[in-house]
Amino acid sequence: MSFARIPKPDELIKIGYTPPKTAWQDTPVDFRPGTWSYAGAAKNLTALDLPNPRAWQPSDIDWKLPDNWQAVILEGMKERLEKYRSFRLFMDICVRCGACADKCHFYIGTGDPKNMPVLRAELIRSVYRRYFTAAGRVFGRLAGARDLTVDVLKEWFYYFYQCTECRRCAVFCPYGIDQAEITMVGRELLNLVGCNINWVVEPAANCFRTGNHLGIQPGGIKDMIEFLADDIEDRTGVRVEVPLNRKGAEILFVTPSADYFADPGTYTFMGYLMLFHELGLDYTMSTYASEGGNFGLFTSHEMIKRLNAKIYAEARRLGVKWIIGGECGHMWRVIHQYMDTMNGPADFLEMPVSPITGTRFENARSTKMVHVVEFTADLIRNGKLKLDPSRNDHLRVTFHDSCNPARAMGFFEEPRYVIKETCRHFYEMREDTIREKTFCCGAGAGLGNDENIEMRMRGGMPRAMAVKEVREKHDVNRLACICAIDRATLTTLMEYWVPDVAVMGVHELVGNALVMTGENERLTDLRGTPIRENGDS
Amino acid sequence: MPIFASLLFIVIAILFPLFAASAGWHGLLGIVIPCAAWAVFVFGFVWRVVVWARSPVPFRIPVTSGQQRSLSWIKADAAENPSGRWGVALRMFLEVALFRSLFRNTRTDLYKGRPVYGRTKNLWLFGWLFHASFLVILVRHLRLFSEPVVPMADTLAAVDGMFEIGVPTLYLSDLCLLAAAAFLLLRRIVIPRVRYISLAQDYIPLLLVLCIAGSGLLMRHFDKIDLVAVKELASGWICFVPTLPEGLTAVFFVHLFCVSALLVWFPLGKLMHMGGVFLSPTRNLANDSRRRRHVNPWNAPVKVHTYEEYEEEFRNQMKAVGLPVDKE
Ligand code: HEM
Ligand code: SF4
Ligand code: SF4
């Protein structure tokens, strides 16, 4: 990743919070390089039957919108007002108290008032007032209403692709107004006239066809997994087998494809494989449902459902009893809050019961899908794993709560328990930056692309600064997380703001600490870094 | 700009009743406008809530601010991450009665090149005082509408005036309402980013409340009003036999006109948060979507890419690397 074209950290941090002189309605959007993402390529829109595929870029004057684009958007708004109580209510009840304003990492990182969640919502709320409320129709701007023009549409594009749907604002709002929900609807509307970003539609198109967002075909998946199994053998002397598309297994395991494709996710993936091998788990992975992540979440509710459908379909075809899901943030938002509703009921599966401990996962009784960290925490609690935490003594770890498991599940203690059982140097970041108040990596929801690099570094700044603090105080050198997007984006973020801190998944710690039957003495961790004896010197 | 438009609105809301009172239009001020405003309020409020309540909740999307209920040995946070009906009731109670989420408020500043998050309870404190005193004053007003006076109104009035400052005693709630409304207004004007997001409709209700409270205090302590006359007027509305007693003052008409304006304003805009907060899907749903299936009433089939289509495309490759296939 090159930071050549963006300001140095000590320049970037000089952020002003004084709003501009002109009212926000009169301040046009500026598509400054480094702060937006490239448009979705026509071939990807076509692959997904999305409207208005064409060659264009957001910096163009002419966006090549269909002639009736206004009618399409307004019709789409009407439809969504009728389909989502959340959207309708959130359009109506905001009192503009500003409690959410300085809670958004993009506002903290840019000082741009339109990144205050309340103003991000007003971008669309003003249009709602103009076309759907009596006061707005009659009093216009005085009532906070404005016409839907091309400039307004461009503003939507810029700011709805500058929101990572992280829900931090919603924690602080007295009515729970969730900008993520508004952004999701805003992006759906933009999609109706063909305004999407390629970092979202290309992964979505790939998932649709090949099952995973990188577009890896079945042969490639098998190769990569074999390659990682070789690495495991190299580090531990134990050969693990990874069943693919095997019918009749008890458990289907689905994880984000980045876990088996790119560092540092691969080390997390090695951790899963070693664990499953050691347990003798009767499981399989699938090349058809080879992606846990769901780029539909960043496109539209319909696209979530289209992509998510594969998991249950494959579970049914393979005849498994239940499903385990890997470490991933937005994947778990979808599995926890949408999957069963959209593609269930999963009545062809059975109540998830750990074959090792006998624990019944009552909390996943209906969806039949268990988080791998829940699964592992239960194993450790029941003393089923032999762990040697001293093998992680060269690591001084802090934990980043990923937005979705934090604010859409409440997944706080499970990962902390596993971390504390597998390593001996764990330090929490400042209270205002973890758990339900966690700060986003700044690049979720499809924004983790190279062209958007300045905005990513700005949005990730609050998270990075909290890491910097524990780095200075406790000499922390590892940032653990349970999200595949984080593993990619936080790595870049750390390079820029806090060099010397590397990023890892929680199951990498497990893999390091797990004592396997028949293993050689471990001289290195899964990354090949030597393990010093007797902890830190 | 919005602030000037709002001030203009308020000046009219004060001058119009003064003018109309001196022109002798007491019937309009005392009967027609208040009754019409009440009708708009009731009808509008119900209509808005019905529209919300009838719109579906397709997905279970609570925002979780505490530990989920998962493994039996991990302590779940029932109030911040409810897993059932009682938890939701507790969460909603804390939100509505104590403004729980607003209590979390922090204030972000850049300090020595890094963001710091300070505690700030101002908005919570004055916001809460504002609403609590508003409620107390509303209940106290019941004594004007009931004969014999409902005991609750009297008891509350006794507590509210317990410090017995002045004659007649000054009510604490009046002071609180004035102070809190003034704080909320000043905050809107003084804090640059809050001013930046404020619309005319954000200033107007606060200004109306200040006018209502101010004229109320005037009638109680300075330009004293004949309470018997007011009760007669009120019972006229309630019994549908409009009467216009003697002794109603210009200040009273200003008070009543501003209340009417607020009543009409209420269902038109953001004051509906009073009803809306109870319906907010990020707050009033239990976080149990893996335990119990949530049904979407408009769930419709979508176009998917089936396994058969997938195998069709990749069969040769799958066979070549030894992956099982359904069709040879
Ligand atoms: C039930 C939970 C409620 C919560 C959490 C809540 C919260 C708030 C907040 C945060 C404000 C903004 C203050 C500002 O202007 O900065 C506000 C304003 C206001 N609320 Fe509420 N409120 C609630 C219920 C009510 C109820 C029951 C009423 C009934 C009269 C009400 C009437 C008002 C009025 C008149 C304003 C002030 C005018 C304004 O700022 O526009 N609220 N409320
Ligand atoms: S905290 Fe909620 S009510 Fe207040 S401005 Fe933000 S979205 Fe609106
Ligand atoms: S959801 Fe997150 S990124 Fe979006 S406005 Fe809220 S705080 Fe900002």
The protein residue with its alpha carbon nearest to ligand 3, atom 2, reads A166
CA of A273 relative to ligand 3 center, distance in Å: 35
Distance CA A203, CA A212 (A): 8
Burial B200-237 (b: 16+ CB within 10 A, else e): bbbbbbbbbbbbbbbbbbbbbeeeebeeebbbbbbebb
Neighbour count for residue B302 (Cβ, 10 Å): 17
Contact A18, B192 (CB under 8 A): yes
How near does any CA of chain A get to the CA of B228, in Å? Answer: 38
Residue recorded with tokens 């805003």: A186
- What residues in A contact B97, CB-CB < 8 Å? none
ipTM at complex level: 0.95
Coil vs helix vs strand at B275: helix
Residue A103: predicted pLDDT: 97
Distance CA A121, CA A127 (A): 10
The counts of H helices and E strands in chain A are 24, 7
Give the relative orientation of helices B122-140 and B151-160 as an angle to the nearest 10 degrees.
130
CA of B97 relative to ligand 1 center, distance in Å: 12
Average pLDDT per 10 consecutive residues for chain A, totaling 537 residues: 85 94 94 96 97 97 97 98 97 97 97 97 98 94 95 98 97 97 98 97 96 92 96 96 96 96 95 98 97 95 97 98 97 97 96 97 97 98 97 97 97 98 98 97 95 96 97 97 95 96 98 96 94 57
User: pLDDT class for B156, splitting at 50, 70, 90?
Assistant: confident
The type of residue at A465 is M
User: Which are the contacts of B285, defined by CB distance < 8 A and separation ≥ 6?
Assistant: B57, B60, B61, B62, B88
Distance CA B193, CA A19 (A): 6
The DSSP letter of residue A39 is B
E strand or H helix that includes residue A251: strand A251-254
Coil vs helix vs strand at A488: helix
Least CB–CB distance from A135: residue in B191, B269, B296: B269
Distance CA A144, CA A139 (A): 8
Q: Are strands A502-505 and A478-481 parallel, antiparallel or unpaired?
A: parallel
Q: Are strands A283-284 and A322-325 parallel, antiparallel or unpaired?
A: unpaired
Of residues B108, B96, B102, the one with CA closest to residue B65: B102
Neighbour count for residue A26 (Cβ, 10 Å): 8
Distance CA B187, CA B180 (A): 10
- What residues in B contact A310, CB-CB < 8 Å? 304-305, 307
Residue A1: predicted pLDDT: 61
Residue A378: predicted pLDDT: 98
User: pLDDT class for B1, splitting at 50, 70, 90?
Assistant: confident
Of residues A310, A473, A395, the one with CA closest to residue B310: A310
CA of B29 relative to ligand 2 center, distance in Å: 36
Q: Where are the domains of chain B?
A: 2-302
Q: Do B101 and A173 touch (CB under 8 A)?
A: yes
Burial A429-443 (b: 16+ CB within 10 A, else e): beebbbbbbbbbbbb
Contact B59, A185 (CB under 8 A): no
Q: Is B202 close to ligand 1, i.e. is its CB under 6 Å away?
A: yes
Residue in chain B nearest A288 by alpha carbon: B307
DSSP per residue over A442-484, as a string?
S-TTTT-SGGGHHHHHHHTHHHHHHHHHHHHHH---EEEES-H
Give the relative orientation of helices B33-54 and A85-92 as an angle to the nearest 10 degrees.
150
User: Rg (Cα) of chain B, in Å, rounded?
Assistant: 28
Distance CA A320, CA A249 (A): 5
User: Rg (Cα) of chain A, in Å, rounded?
Assistant: 23
Least confident of A52-66, B150-164, B168-182, B201-215: B150-164
The counts of H helices and E strands in chain B are 15, 2
Distance CA B97, CA B124 (A): 12
The type of residue at B167 is V
Least CB–CB distance from B276: residue in A15, A172, A175: A175
Distance CA A288, CA A313 (A): 10
Four-residue CA torsion sign, A263, A518, A536, A474: positive
Residue B11: is it exposed, middle or buried by C-beta count within 10 angstroms (0-12/13-18/19+)?
Answer: exposed
Least CB–CB distance from A13: residue in B113, B283, B302: B113
Of residues A60, A45, A21, the one with CA closest to residue A300: A45
Residue A45: is it exposed, middle or buried by C-beta count within 10 angstroms (0-12/13-18/19+)?
Answer: buried
The protein residue with its alpha carbon nearest to ligand 2, atom 6, reads A100
Residue A184: is it exposed, middle or buried by C-beta count within 10 angstroms (0-12/13-18/19+)?
Answer: buried
Q: Are strands A502-505 and A322-325 parallel, antiparallel or unpaired?
A: unpaired
Coil vs helix vs strand at B220: helix
How near does any CA of chain A get to the CA of B79, in Å? Answer: 12
The type of residue at B189 is I
Q: Do A103 and B317 touch (CB under 8 A)?
A: no
Which residues line ligand 3 at a C-beta cut-off of 6 Å? A 103-104, 106, 117, 120, 163-169, 179-180, 183
Contact A505, A399 (CB under 8 A): no
Query: Residue A244 has which token pair?
Result: 């693919």
**How far is CA B138 from each of CA A385, B144, B166, rounded to the nearest angstrom?**
63, 11, 22
CA of A97 relative to ligand 2 center, distance in Å: 5
Contact A129, A144 (CB under 8 A): yes
Q: What CATH architecture is B2-302?
A: Up-down Bundle (1.20)
Domains of chain A plus CATH, in order, are: 9-30+51-195 (1.10.1060), 205-513 (no CATH)
- Where residue B13 falls (left for φ over 0; alpha for ψ -120 to 50; beta otherwise) is alpha
Q: What is the dihedral of CA A128, A133, A137, A143, to 10 degrees?
A: -80
Q: What is the 3-state secondary structure (H, E, C) of B72-115?
A: CCCCCCCCCCCCCHHHHHHHHHHHHHHCHHHHCCEEEEEECCEE
Mean of all residue pLDDT scores within chain B: 94
Q: What is the dihedral of CA A204, A208, A210, A211, to 10 degrees?
A: 90
**How far is CA B81 from each of CA A171, A363, A374, rounded to the nearest angstrom?**
11, 13, 17
- What residues in A contact B298, CB-CB < 8 Å? 83
Q: Are strands B106-111 and A502-505 parallel, antiparallel or unpaired?
A: unpaired
Q: Do B68 and A344 touch (CB under 8 A)?
A: no
Residue A535: predicted pLDDT: 45
Distance CA A505, CA A494 (A): 15
Q: Are strands A369-371 and A322-325 parallel, antiparallel or unpaired?
A: parallel
Of residues A346, A337, A353, the one with CA closest to residue A281: A353
User: Which are the contacts of B158, defined by CB distance < 8 A and separation ≥ 6?
Assistant: none
Neighbour count for residue A1 (Cβ, 10 Å): 10
Contact A380, A420 (CB under 8 A): no
As a whole number, mean pLDDT of residues B97-109 equals: 96
B220-240 per-position pLDDT tens digit: 988 888 989 999 999 999 888
Query: Residue B101 has which token pair?
Result: 């989420």
Query: Residue B231 has which token pair?
Result: 């009760």
CA of B134 relative to ligand 1 center, distance in Å: 10
